[in-house]
Structure 1
Amino acid sequence: MNPKIGDAVYVQSYKHDGSLHRTWSCATVVDVNDEMIVAITYKTWVVEGDGRRWFTREPAVYYFYLNRWYNVIAMIRKRGIYYYCNLATPSIYDGEAIKNIDYDLDVKVFPDGNYILLDEDEFIDHQRQMQYDVSIIDIVVDEQRRLVNEVKSGVGPFNSLNVYEYFEKFLNLNFEES
């Protein structure tokens, strides 16, 4: 079962040991298909696993893949689109929330297409602390390569037109509901 376009859903990210990593109080679904759920957050509360809370200030398009070990957040800012990509299990929707397990590695992409790899030390530390299975480590590393190739080729979420089209769809959904 997947959410429907226009649904407001909760988003929950966990760590391998089952602890809550981060939650988003509300994301509006703008597209659903066999491969992904696309949702938008705008002025939404985020709660970190340690209890810290913050409020998103810019619109963000979230690509939650149902069969890939990552998700992509495209943040629309004045200077362009910034991407934050999380290596994580394929996302699921259980009727309550979109959920995944975060595996530490991240890729940050700048509006000019340059990118940096983040949290490699955290990935190594958590492999030991949380006893990641070798098969999970291999999948995460392979999926990071796949993700970087997508960044370099500018496809899917890394095509800014795609991001703006989803944001326009979100604005139209909200306008129709008003």
Structure 2
Amino acid sequence: MDTVARPGTPVHVNFTKWDGRQHWQSDGLLLGEDEYGVWVGFSADSEFYRPGKRVTAKRDHTLLFPRDEGWVGRLYDTAPEGLIRYYIDLSSVPVWTSVDVGLEVSMIDFDLDVVERGGQAPYIDDEDEFLDHQRLFGYPDEVVAQVRKDADGLLADVQAGRAPFRQDVVRRWVDALRNLG
């Protein structure tokens, strides 16, 4: 992130699709940066919305935005049986900008997700959507190859428990969110 900001700064998260239409949007608070990227926190009552759908978070969690990689990780410090522990969206590299109320981070969602739920093995989700959108949007071959490679690498990292996909790393940032209040 090239923009200087303090913990607690509002961050608007702006996912779009390849054709520019709005996808998931949300508003969180900047927590800080470490060797893995920029961390943004969301309290249990945060809203996430896209055209035609709105959901409210049920647990405190973080989004991790790596500096130079095409993915965004929704990471929880606990994962009861069946609930999401890690939800990693494959995307373009996040771009940060200053806005009137704080910061905005924008990226293109490339459909594939790496998901781990409490008590279950991690997996790659939305393969069908990725194939459909390759035809619909005409993703360039190099984008398709990079997204596929990144998804496979992230799945291996989650399976192996490599940081930042470890509970001690995530817990530190969820605790930072709780300490902002």
TM-score by length of 2: 0.87
Offset at 1:155?
A: 1.8
Query: Using the alignment, how far apart are the partners of 2:178 and 2:63 within structure 1?
Result: 15
Q: Give the alignment partner of residue 97 of structure 2, picking from 94, 97, 100.
A: 94
Is the 1:87–1:106 contact (alpha carbons within 8 Å) kept by the matching residues of 2?
yes
Q: Does 1:79 align with 2:80?
A: yes
Q: Which runs of 5 or more structure 1 residues have no equivalent in the other structure?
A: none
Query: Using the alignment, how far apart are the partners of 2:107 and 2:72 within structure 1?
Result: 9
Aligned length: 172
Comparing both chains, which one has the higher relative contact order based on Cα–Cα distances under 8 Å and sequence gaps of 6 or more?
A: 2
| Residue aligning to 2:153 | 146
Q: CA RMSD in A?
A: 1.8
Offset at 1:34?
A: 7.1
Indicate how the Cα distance of structure 1 residues 164 and 46 shifts in structure 2: closer, same or farther if over 3 A, else same. same
The code of the aligned residue for 2:95 comes to I
The code of the aligned residue for 2:142 comes to S
Indicate how the Cα distance of structure 1 residues 145 and 173 shifts in structure 2: closer, same or farther if over 3 A, else same. same
TM-score by length of 1: 0.88
Within a 5 Å distance, the mapping from 1:1-178 to structure 2 comes to: 1-2=2-3, 3-24=5-26, 26-33=27-34, 36-42=37-43, 43-48=45-50, 50-77=51-78, 79=80, 82-96=85-99, 97-112=104-119, 114-174=121-181
Offset at 1:94?
A: 1.1
Is the 1:16–1:103 contact (alpha carbons within 8 Å) kept by the matching residues of 2?
yes
Offset at 1:171?
A: 1.6
Indicate how the Cα distance of structure 1 residues 35 and 95 shifts in structure 2: closer, same or farther if over 3 A, else same. farther
Query: Using the alignment, how far apart are the partners of 1:68 and 1:79 within structure 2?
Result: 29
Query: Using the alignment, how far apart are the partners of 2:169 and 2:34 within structure 1?
Result: 15
Query: Using the alignment, how far apart are the partners of 1:100 and 1:173 within structure 2?
Result: 26
Question: Secondary structure of 2:98's partner?
Answer: coil
Indicate how the Cα distance of structure 1 residues 78 and 133 shifts in structure 2: closer, same or farther if over 3 A, else same. closer
Q: Deviations over 1:27-79 (max 9, x none)?
A: 1111125752101111111111x232222121111111121111110134562
How high is the sequence identity, in percent, across the aligned residues?
Answer: 23
The code of the aligned residue for 2:46 comes to T
Query: Using the alignment, how far apart are the partners of 1:78 and 1:33 within structure 2?
Result: 23
Which range moves more in the overlay, 33-42 or 73-82?
Answer: 73-82
Query: Using the alignment, how far apart are the partners of 2:127 and 2:116 within structure 1?
Result: 16
Which range moves more in the overlay, 10-19 or 61-70?
Answer: 61-70
Query: Using the alignment, how far apart are the partners of 1:98 and 1:34 within structure 2?
Result: 18
Is the 2:124–2:155 contact (alpha carbons within 8 Å) kept by the matching residues of 1?
no
Q: Which runs of 5 or more structure 2 residues have no equivalent in the other structure?
A: none
